[in-house]
Amino acid sequence: MIWQQFPCSFEFNEEFLVLLFEHTYSSQFGTFLCNNEKERKECKLSSRTVSLWTYLARPEVLQKYLNPMYDPNPRVIWPSVAPQSLVLWSGLYQRSIIDQSKQKEAWQEVSKIREYDKELRSKVTKLRRQLASLEREALGVGLILPSELGVDCIPE
């Protein structure tokens, strides 16, 4: 499965893919009913059913399906099709026999760590801006000389 080969390249997690699979056949939402747009209009699905996408677009729902390891990748990803790279999608086909609770706990912990990392990076950026501002101010009033500034702290 391509998601297993490139887990950081997808914005949504495996639960999202399983949800799409389940709702393709469940008919709980009108999204996957009928064969084409003409049939959907004839059946008046837009007024008689709710779209899965409308449900998923709600922030409190969508948050559950975001991949905490997502890192946008502008390059093309080339999945391996070698036989040893192809594995059974246990998250879908073995979900009734494999306890997923430990894996969910691990992903929640990863999510917390990534969020904390974002907070720390934001603080670092803010502190660097403050430092640069203070250095410019100190240069302006003659408290320090340009040669006394650090290499990575050149004022803007």
Residue-wise pLDDT for 18-67, tens only, equals: 999 999 988 888 888 989 989 989 999 888 888 899 999 999 999 999 99
Average pLDDT for the chain: 86
Is 90 exceeded by the pLDDT of residue 69?
A: no
Nearest to 30 by CA among 54, 57, 50, 58: 50
Q: Tell me the pLDDT band of 155, cut-offs 50, 70 and 90.
A: very low
**pTM, two decimal places:** 0.64
C-alpha distances (whole Å) from 144 to each of 26, 47, 138 are 70, 70, 6
Residue 153's SS3 state is: coil
Whether residue 33 contacts residue 45, with contact meaning beta carbons closer than 8 Å, is answered with yes
